[in-house]
């Protein structure tokens, strides 16, 4: 009887997991207008052990150690992989598997059509308080080579399961007091109690953190990132509402102000 009961419970959990995945895939397709490639297929053979091409390898290294490899173009000491976990290969960890199929496209923020090179440039400016990297330079081409490599299992018109962030949002206002409590219980051990700068863990506020204007400075985006990925290695251990509380607490602290370096036509001012 015990074995039968355990089997029933395991099957129920499996069915619930499959149902959730189908729901998230459907919501992702709605959000991006692209067909979703299943996780097992999309993320196959794209780990660092599978990289043979030197351009791709250097692109991966830039993702992992951006400030170290491109110090002239990074102002806050962050790396791409601080937000795009495992160099963009973590489902719902701001995954970039399939990103090459999303550009060129029109963006409301820019009010123009931009290509992937321009979007990468914006990341350096907005999220890393940096400067333009040469559009046709070696670093840019290496980054593009890497993004094409990790997108090799997503044909045109598709993106990977887990692309970007979890397609959910809480329906209540954040509780800043609870966010503070959860931060010191769940986050401070790694991220510190103040604005500590670490070689491995990014500061979440202060001058070395991401500025206002970065994607992570938006409450809905930071909430969804925390929900699926934090504490690191224990994603989905917080409720969506708790993740929002933590995000609100993080964003209640000071950080640099992003200064636009481009006019509406995409040219430097």
Contacts of 13 (CB under 8 A, 6+ apart): none
pLDDT at 8 over 60: no
For the stretch 19-41, pLDDT in tens is 677 778 888 899 899 999 999 99
- Average pLDDT value for the chain: 88
Confidence at residue 192, expressed as pLDDT on a 0 to 100 scale: 87
Do residues 104 and 113 make contact, with C-beta atoms less than 8 angstroms apart? Answer: yes
Q: Single out the residue of 76, 257, 59 nearest to residue 148, CA to CA.
A: 59
Q: How confident is the model at residue 268 (pLDDT cuts 50, 70, 90)?
A: very low
Torsion sign across C-alpha atoms 108, 114, 120, 126: negative
Class of domain 176-250: mainly alpha
Sequence-distant contacts of 243-246: CB under 8 A, at least 24 apart: 243/170, 244/170, 244/172, 244/174, 244/179, 244/219, 245/174, 245/175, 245/176, 245/178, 245/179, 245/182, 246/179, 246/182, 246/183, 246/186, 246/187
Same fold, 21-160 and 176-250: yes
What CATH number labels 21-160? 1.10.760.10
CA distance 158 to 161: 10
CA 72 to chain centre: 23
Q: How confident is the model at residue 18 (pLDDT cuts 50, 70, 90)?
A: low
DSSP secondary structure letter of residue 268: B
Q: Report the pLDDT averaged over residues 135-161.
A: 97
CA distance 95 to 260: 26
For the stretch 80-131, pLDDT in tens is 999 999 999 999 999 999 999 999 999 998 899 999 999 999 999 999 988 8
pLDDT at 259 over 50: yes
Domain spans in the chain, listed from the N-terminal domain onward? 21-160, 176-250
């Amino acid at each position: 009887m015990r074995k039968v009961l355990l089997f029933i419970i395991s099957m129920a959990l499996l069915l619930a997991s499959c149902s959730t995945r189908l729901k998230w895939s459907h919501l992702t397709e709605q959000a991006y207008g692209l067909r979703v490639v299943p996780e097992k297929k999309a993320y196959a053979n794209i780990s660092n052990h599978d990289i043979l091409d030197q351009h791709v390898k250097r692109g991966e290294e830039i993702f992992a150690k951006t400030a170290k490899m491109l110090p002239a173009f990074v102002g806050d000491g962050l790396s791409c992989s601080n937000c795009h976990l495992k160099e963009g290969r973590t489902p719902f960890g701001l995954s970039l598997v399939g990103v090459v199929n999303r550009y060129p496209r029109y963006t409301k923020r820019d009010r123009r059509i931009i290509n992937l090179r321009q979007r990468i440039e914006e990341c350096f400016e907005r999220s890393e308080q940096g400067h333009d990297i040469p559009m046709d330079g070696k670093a840019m081409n290496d980054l593009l080579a890497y993004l094409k490599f990790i997108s090799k299992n997503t044909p045109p018109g598709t993106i990977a399961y887990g692309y970007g962030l979890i397609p959910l949002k809480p329906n209540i206002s954040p509780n800043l007091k609870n966010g503070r409590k959860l931060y010191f219980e769940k986050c401070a051990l790694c991220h510190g109690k103040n604005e500590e700068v670490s070689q491995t863990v990014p500061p979440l506020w202060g001058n070395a953190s991401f500025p206002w204007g970065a994607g992570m400075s938006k409450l809905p985006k930071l909430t969804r990132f925390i929900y699926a990925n934090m504490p690191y290695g224990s994603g989905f251990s917080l409720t969506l509402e708790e993740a929002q509380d933590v995000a609100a607490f993080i964003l209640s602290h000071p950080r640099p102000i992003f200064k636009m370096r481009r006019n509406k036509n995409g040219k430097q001012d």
